[in-house]
Amino acid sequence: MSTERDSETTFDEDSQPNDEVVPYSDDETEDELEDQGPAIEPEQNRVNREVEENRETFRKDCTWQVKANDRKFHEQPHFMNTKFFCIKESKYASNAIKTYKYNALTFLPMNLFEQFKRAANFYFLVLLTLQAIPQISTLAWYTTLVPLLLVLGITAIKDLVDDVARHKMDKEINNRLCEVIKDGRFKVTKWKDIQVGDVIRLKKNDFIPADILLLSSSEPNSLCYVETAELDGETNLKFKMALEITDQYLQREDNLATFDGFIECEEPNNRLDKFTGTLFWRNRSFPLDADKILLRGCVIRNTDICHGLVIFAGADTKIMKNSGKTRFKRTKIDYLMNYMVYTIFVVLILLSAGLAIGHAYWEAQVGNYSWYLYDGENATPSYRGFLNFWGYIIVLNTMVPISLYVSVEVIRLGQSHFINWDLQMYYSEKDTPAKARTTTLNEQLGQIHYVFSDKTGTLTQNIMTFKKCCINGQIYGDHRDVSQHNHSKIEQVDFSWNTFADGKLAFHDHYLIEQIQSGKEPEVRQFFFLLAVCHTVMVDRADGQINYQAASPDEGALVNAARNFGFAFLARTQNTITISELGTERTYSVLAILDFNSDRKRMSIIVRTPEGSIRLYCKGADTVIYERLHQMNPTKQETQDALDEIEENEFAEWNKKFMAASVAVTNRDEALDRVYEEIEKDLILLGATAIEDKLQDGVPETISKLAKADIKIWVLTGDKKETAENIGFACELLTEDTTICYGEDINSLLHTRMENQRNRGGVYAKFAPPVHEPFFPTGENRALIITGSWLNEILLEKKTKRSKILKLKFPRTEEERRMRTQSKRRLEARKEQRQKNFVDLACECSAVICCRVTPKQKAMVVDLVKRYKKAITLAIGDGANDVNMIKTAHIGVGISGQEGMQAVMSSDYSFAQFRFLQRLLLVHGRWSYIRMCKFLRYFFYKNFAFTLVHFWYSFFNGYSAQTAYEDWFITLYNVLYSSLPVLLMGLLDQDVSDKLSLRFPRLYVVGQKDLLFNYKRFFVSLLHGILTSLVLFFIPLGAYLQTVGQDGEAPSDYQSFAVTVASALVITVNFQIGLDTSYWTFVNAFSIFGSIALYFGIMFDFHSAGIHVLFPSSFQFTGTASNALRQPYIWLTIILTVAVCLLPVVAIRFLSMTIWPSESDKIQKHRKRLKAEEQWKQRQRVFRRGASSRRSAYAFSHQRGYADLISSGRSLRRKRAPLDGIADGPAEYRRTGDS
């Protein structure tokens, strides 16, 4: 019992979640988190155990060995792997890459093998084989071969074009040139000839040919700048640093040629941001990490020359390891279509079996006693029935449409191009068009139930603007003149007095400028001095202008604000920073930079003033700073008295700890954080900033329209709760009428529901029907706002300590094993039920906002909705932290914004603004869904109508598998006579215009409910095809009975009958698609009448005497068409047949549109009036009384700042592009001298 108790954690036992913290890192494993608890263990035992574990881990992981300038080392026998029988090759890949799939010899066999892996293609290959057997062949071989060759040929040509492009790209890359040391000198070598262990030289703007260890560069301290656009899509520069010893000794060519370093490192893998290894050289060992590795695919920037040692080459490089196949996404219609094809297979087999039994019976009753039917073979009726089974499989094979999959791909390709060409989704400011990065998901855009959106950069612009500040309780930023009088209309502040102002800041509070210039309030100047000095921004001068490169938009906005208000950051070195303070340049010594990360949510800088005093300046999120303020929270006068420096001895003692933590081998980050905590205390509050991140244009309107389309919006963000809530109101996701529930509210609801479910459980619980109880009363507008910590708590994802018994790898007794298994099952069942309850509760809310969530949690929320609601999901984001969510959703949309291109590169669709989502879903998605559904319904219908005529004919030919049509008609029916109209409908049809689609979002609901294509619709199409085939067969049959032509002859022969049925069929199915077409163009009309004309033209050619003379065995219907179609009553028969097929359809359509009109029918009926009406307008924005408008949240961060670069002495001479965002809207603080 103790084991069970230890392994489960009740809600009461767990600590209360903190709304302000981002949960544990996504990189933490469960074991790491479990081991964080206190453990009683002797210190020396712990040290010994850690040393052994680290040594074993290093031995196990670091098995890749590289010897510099020694190619023979890597050719030793123990580095050879057996590839095929006795053929061996080195485990070190060559640097030549191969992304192509085929070559001249393998293209045909490999491509055919891949195509015949598809069930439909393989099925027709089997049919072709059956047709080669004379005993069962009822159709000419070309009836199957021609369509099959057409399908295979189109696909093969497409694959060939793609592969030729890959060949050209590979050849171009492999033949790039690079300098490699050979025979003691650098020689120009092709990339494909580079090997592991080579020392290479790269120049500015060169692509890096392999994963290399940076040895030295022309920059100070061997700094090297690289652009990683091909790796992660980001155009900002990143820096790499060489080891100090290689920087010192490996600058000259002769030294590089004699370099004999030996490296042990991890095996090739796809982790772009991690590397572990050791360099052994000069009887010393040096640790290597990712900061010293240059990855293939990057470009050298702002560095004249650099040298490197090749670690991984070719297929072993990280970029190639990451180029594996992404998860293939398939649409709901895809799965349904496959099931329907399987259903047709079953129907085909059943029909063939029934007709084969009928033939066996007919042979036994009639055939054996009819001497004129004797064929010279004495086969039994059952054997003849068996042969006829395969004969009917061949005759009825067109029930399975061979061209279906190719036609679907053509339609999807066209729809993707329509998205790419849509000028209304083109963002001219950044020259960014919409892009369909996949062609397989278009119709699924019309079936979305849930949209999961990032906030920063997706709903907002991620362009930060300094709007207000609060200094010593005084708020600045309103429309005020110098005398503090408010004015509704006042000119912007003129910054012309400041030579460093950039002129881009719009500010209207003239009183703040007066305070800065007069110096009456020293705290005001200190406030902006803090903004100018406490940061990790890089500065670059170009054409006399100062350009800042910030690690986040927030930090850039603060430094630019300080610059405009007279405190301009001018330059920095390894240990100094230069500020212009109201025109006076002052240089401060930088003693330490305490960098920002997502756990600390703050950064500090310790400087020595020119007068010799030491001060700490800190800025960060309000929640973490409040905890570190001076207990007395001094007032203005006390603040002035406390502005003393940190004592020298205090700083010296702290600095020793800081230096020791900086060189720690293990757990360096944790050691530094502990040291930072010791000095970041007793802070004096200077002020706070208000930074505005504006909503993108059209966000409220888009969200409103999507909501009317019954699409639920969930916002998943790393921002704090207050900021996310304010954004929710700003974009009208939340309104005044919305009742907001928080984590603590729903936790109790879920706890109660779990208790009720447990009480209802019992022996017979599994047999009881599931009870669906709503969590909230119906009719109320509710929204859920939940933080990442509460999310972990509610979903039982919170890491908890387990008992030591459960940690044993092998239970000692059978009882322990049984208890462990039961406990694990109980925990999993409880967790699954809890998660399902949460999803049910959240889906009852009109909007859900998850804040302070990690990238892993974003993906987890999407996966939960997919798993428990079986709903189609779409995720939209713009940053690297959204990639996991985008890949998890059914459809991923990337926004090309301020955070690089990683989200776009991982997405299925991309565009530049959130507002384009409404057009993507409500117009392109809905149209694609309607077109695909119409296409599939019609495709199945026309094939059933065509094929089942054979079935009715079999009752009149002794079930002998005789075909009802000419062989060439069967061959060309799906290829020429009925293919183009249905393709054009699948590409061009639209029930209402794009403007009306946006004006009436409720039209979108039909896709969500799968109303246009499902098994019911499929069987309706099947029934329609059966009835059409009945009419097509029996009306001509009745017309041909006991008839005599005008010339006294009876044209009641089989060939004339086949021509009559075929003509009626072609006209019927082409006119039927005319009835199904909602949007008529010249192209549609031409395709319908052109297909009919093409049929008659080809038929008269194939029935001519000339072609019969050339190919007498293949064309046997000589003169049939001209003989039959000259009879007026045959034309009357065709007209009657077509009319009987189509008039009931017209009548049913008329009645349904009159009595039961759909939303689309109503809009089509009144479209002229609707076009004349005024367009829908966005309702007035709703402001929430009492809601805080401050934005003081630090979003979940991905990277640290530039402090490591600054403090390491790698001075930044060149322009430095920003890394990913660090902080959102900081509050500013300063260290007091009192402890």
Tell me the per-residue pLDDT of 738-757, one tens digit each, with 9 for 90 and over: 888 888 878 888 888 888 87
pLDDT score, position 236: 59
Q: Quick one: average pLDDT of 206-222?
A: 89
Tell whether the model's pLDDT for residue 626 goes beyond 60: yes
1053: helix, strand or coil: coil
pLDDT score, position 1198: 41
Q: Which residues pair with 572 in a beta bridge?
A: 577
Cβ-based neighbour number of residue 754 at 10 Å: 15
pLDDT score, position 1235: 30
Q: Which residues pair with 476 in a beta bridge?
A: 469
Q: What's the DSSP call for residue 75?
A: G
Q: Quick one: average pLDDT of 504-511?
A: 85
- 223-227 sheet: strands from edge to edge: 237-241, 223-227, 299-301
pLDDT score, position 1112: 73
Residue 664 tokens read as 């720690």
Interatomic CA distance for residues 577 and 535, integer angstroms: 11
Cβ-based neighbour number of residue 1199 at 10 Å: 17
Q: Quick one: average pLDDT of 949-972?
A: 88
**What percentage of the chain has pLDDT greater than the value 90?**
26
Average pLDDT, the chain: 80
Lowest pLDDT segment from 15-24, 134-143, 377-386, 416-425: 15-24
Tell whether the model's pLDDT for residue 1068 goes beyond 90: yes
pLDDT score, position 519: 82
pLDDT score, position 52: 42
pLDDT score, position 1232: 33
546 and 583 Cβ atoms separated by less than 8 Å: no
277: helix, strand or coil: strand
Place 1231 in a pLDDT band, splitting at 50, 70 and 90: very low
Q: Which residues pair with 895 in a beta bridge?
A: 911
Torsion sign across C-alpha atoms 119, 122, 126, 128: positive
**Residue pLDDT, tens place only, 362-417:** 888 876 666 666 666 677 888 888 888 988 888 888 887 777 878 888 899 899 99
Cβ-based neighbour number of residue 414 at 10 Å: 18
Place 855 in a pLDDT band, splitting at 50, 70 and 90: confident
232 and 134 Cβ atoms separated by less than 8 Å: no
Burial class of residue 617 (count of CB atoms within 10 Å of its CB; 0-12, 13-18, 19+): buried
Interatomic CA distance for residues 796 and 1076, integer angstroms: 52
Tell whether the model's pLDDT for residue 140 goes beyond 60: yes
117 and 944 Cβ atoms separated by less than 8 Å: no
Output the CA torsion 479→480→481→485 (10° steps).
130
Tell whether the model's pLDDT for residue 938 goes beyond 50: yes
pLDDT score, position 1173: 64
Lowest pLDDT segment from 242-246, 1006-1010, 1182-1186: 1182-1186
Place 521 in a pLDDT band, splitting at 50, 70 and 90: confident
Q: Quick one: average pLDDT of 278-284?
A: 88
pLDDT score, position 237: 67
Single out the residue of 847, 607, 691 nearest to residue 1189, CA to CA: 691
pTM: 0.76
More confident residue, 219 or 109: 109
Residue 603 tokens read as 């950064």
Backbone angles phi and psi of 660, in degrees to 5:
-65, -40
Instruction: List all residues 6 or more positions away from 1088 whose beta carbon is below 8 Å from its beta carbon.
Output: 981, 1070, 1071, 1073, 1074
Pairing relationship of beta strands 262-265 and 237-241 according to DSSP bridges: unpaired
Tell whether the model's pLDDT for residue 1087 goes beyond 80: yes
Query: Integer distance in angstroms from the first to the last C-alpha of the chain?
Result: 51
Q: Quick one: average pLDDT of 429-453?
A: 90
CA geometry: angle at 599 spanning 596 and 604, to 5°? 30
Tell whether the model's pLDDT for residue 489 goes beyond 90: no
Place 983 in a pLDDT band, splitting at 50, 70 and 90: very high
Tell whether the model's pLDDT for residue 1188 goes beyond 50: no
More confident residue, 918 or 77: 918
Interatomic CA distance for residues 76 and 509, integer angstroms: 75
Q: Tell me the CA distances in angstroms from 605 to 526, 620, 676, 730, 1214, one per residue in order.
A: 14, 12, 11, 36, 23
Instruction: List all residues 6 or more positions away from 739 whose beta carbon is below 8 Å from its beta carbon.
Output: 780, 781, 782, 783
Cβ-based neighbour number of residue 1095 at 10 Å: 22
Lowest pLDDT segment from 37-41, 660-664, 1074-1078, 1119-1123: 37-41
Annotated catalytic residues are 454
Place 873 in a pLDDT band, splitting at 50, 70 and 90: very high
Place 321 in a pLDDT band, splitting at 50, 70 and 90: confident
274: alpha, beta or left? (left if phi > 0; alpha if psi -120 to 50): beta
pLDDT score, position 227: 81
Burial class of residue 545 (count of CB atoms within 10 Å of its CB; 0-12, 13-18, 19+): exposed
Single out the residue of 1001, 1021, 822, 832 nearest to residue 923, CA to CA: 1001
Q: Quick one: average pLDDT of 526-542?
A: 85
Cα atoms in the Cβ-side hemisphere of radius 13 Å centred on 411: 31
